[in-house]
A and B are shown apart, each in its own frame.
Chain A
């Protein structure tokens, strides 16, 4: 795996931007929670209790490391795989599960598929499915923060495949031109559904694309929590100092299917997956944690038990949450219903009353 720093910067390896030793256990706890969510949600999907799920397995260190290097005021522009980021930002598990069900507890009011969530309180902008769209948006928000004089950076999350979209190129170009305080955090998980990274672009790295737009790109080992944290903390400091944007390519691997609709056996070998699993970010982080004096295997087991029971509890509550009111999908199209929408709402109420349609 390439490990080159394309824009050498002395600060990259200084201790100033290291994840403090005291924060490692908490980071690991979040990674375990994220993986346990995957485990549970994949099984819920198989049982038909949620409709769809996008696992993040393999990308926990990249996401948690990145999110920990941010300030709560920073704005996150996620794609659909950023569970680890959402957890670090403090989105409650039950909010996520409510979203997966699309019940009345879902802050998004059942509008979107599972994993396509957003939470204003956590500065976690709502995700969409069309790839790459969040990238120029993150640039705009960063320029707005700068204009307001806020010490805020924005982070756009996206995958290797998304570097081929129009929006990626437009976004990076604007960021370069306006030196926006933006971090482009690309999780190169080696696959865009069935398209391998090697066929997506002939660039040797994704990070080097930043060069063409006039700013720096770095490649990091995304299975290494400390390395990711350092790169993001450095990029953040640079952005706030007025040194402009950074593209970070975190090299990871998607252990699972693209989504529950995907069968990766059709396009990649088990051997490749096994090879990457040896660098499982959870194992690597655990190895570090095991060096903490007094840390035992039993504590590790306890973390897993705690994560699973927190999820079980939240699921129980989510499942018991009532469904959405039936006409709610007609709200939020505009700030107020237009006469046409009001008319359509009445029509729907009539259909419900006459039992033509059912909640």
Chain B
């Protein structure tokens, strides 16, 4: 075990995978000499060389398209997109190509690329350094979507992603890259996909979140306990595949559900969770399902503190739900 920040855990995960398997290589902008703008790849070019930690020209389309070709040939490329907000030049490669190679070839051409991208707000990044657009990728069949919230999960889920056989969107909560630290197992450490983490057990209501939103959600749960409300907190970890069983079991126990994400509300992943619970656990519910989310606007710069779900907003929603029924 080593105490690491989340971004260090990503770094150790990448290093571990590269030591294990010479087929693993990294491509991205500023990832080599500079070690990545968030330092996620710090030191890796030194250890593994410029042939395996590849500084690319400024083209996300080039990065992902090239990674796809490498994967088709059998390598295990990990592509870094500097900010999730800059992924759109590669959207065609991801949505039309990466996600569909296996399917459109009847299984002949599996295409295993991991696309890593820092996502989310709270860093005064304005419109284009803050977005949380995981729902696009969840809506695209053929992509697994992973969002860790702790250093241990970052490493464990990343190693699973790199050894998986399918395309994985690995979205990293940059707001807590350095603010969250924790013990991380050394060496090869893997966390299976599709297994949510019960971050806190409780009986009165369920709070569901993922990524950077785990921080205010857990803080709100703490405060609810002071009110005498016992909140269960679920960290989804992987949105695709989704751990339905954990979600439904919790709601069946508590009868109350608040969903938290920083993405815009309309057609956000919270809508999927709410629909699922309405379909499969409606009769367990004692109160309406509430969502605490970003607003249906682009991500604002100056007023981001109002846009982003906060501990107070989560608490407010949880208290409304907690009082009902």
Contact = CB atoms under 8 A, between A and B. Distances in A.
Given A130-B86, A266-B34, A324-B303, A351 B313 contact: yes
Contact of B295 (A112, A194, A348, A354): A348
Given A102-B302, A113-B129, A195-B58, A354 B265 contact: no
A324 B300 CA distance: 12
A206 to B, nearest CB: 12
Contacts of B85: 129-130
A32 B191 CA distance: 57
Contact of A111 (B55, B86, B301, B310): B301
B135 interface: no
A348 B306 contact: yes
Contact of A103 (B37, B125, B127, B302): B302
Given A165-B89, A200-B57, A356-B312, A194 B33 contact: yes
Given A129-B127, A129-B129, A164-B58, A341 B312 contact: no
A201 interface: yes
B178 interface: no
A256 interface: no
A10 to B, nearest CB: 36
A179 to B, nearest CB: 26
A77 B306 CA distance: 31
Contacts of B305: 357
Contacts of B265: 344
B59 A166 contact: yes
Contact of B300 (A51, A111, A192, A357): A111
B143 to A, nearest CB: 21
A329 interface: yes
A325 to B, nearest CB: 9
Contact of B301 (A102, A128, A261, A333): A102
Interface in B4-44: 29-30, 32-35, 37
Contacts of B129: 113, 129
A interface, how many residues as a size bin? 35 or more
B311 to A, nearest CB: 10
Contact of B303 (A51, A200, A326): A326
Contact size range, B:
35 or more
A200 B29 CA distance: 10
B297 interface: yes
Nearest to B33: A267
A214 interface: no
B297 A329 contact: yes
A323 B302 contact: yes
A329 B127 CA distance: 11
Given A129-B85, A356-B313, A199 B55 contact: yes
Contact of B57 (A129, A195, A340): A195
Contacts of A102: 301-302
B316 A356 contact: yes
A96 to B, nearest CB: 15
B52 to A, nearest CB: 16
Interface of B: 29-30, 32-35, 37, 55, 57-59, 61-62, 85-86, 88-89, 124-129, 265-266, 295-298, 300-303, 305-307, 310, 312-313, 315-316
Interface of A: 51-52, 101-103, 106, 109-113, 116, 128-131, 161-162, 164-167, 192-195, 199-201, 261-262, 266-267, 323-324, 326, 328-330, 333, 338, 340-341, 344, 348, 351, 354, 356-357, 359
Q: Which 3 A-B pairs have the closest CB atoms?
A: A110-B302, A102-B302, A129-B128
6 contacts: A161-B57, A167-B89, A200-B58, A266-B35, A344-B296, A357-B306
Given A109-B302, A356-B312, 15 more contacts: A110-B303, A128-B128, A129-B128, A131-B58, A164-B59, A166-B61, A326-B303, A326-B306, A329-B306, A330-B297, A333-B297, A340-B296, A341-B297, A344-B265, A351-B316
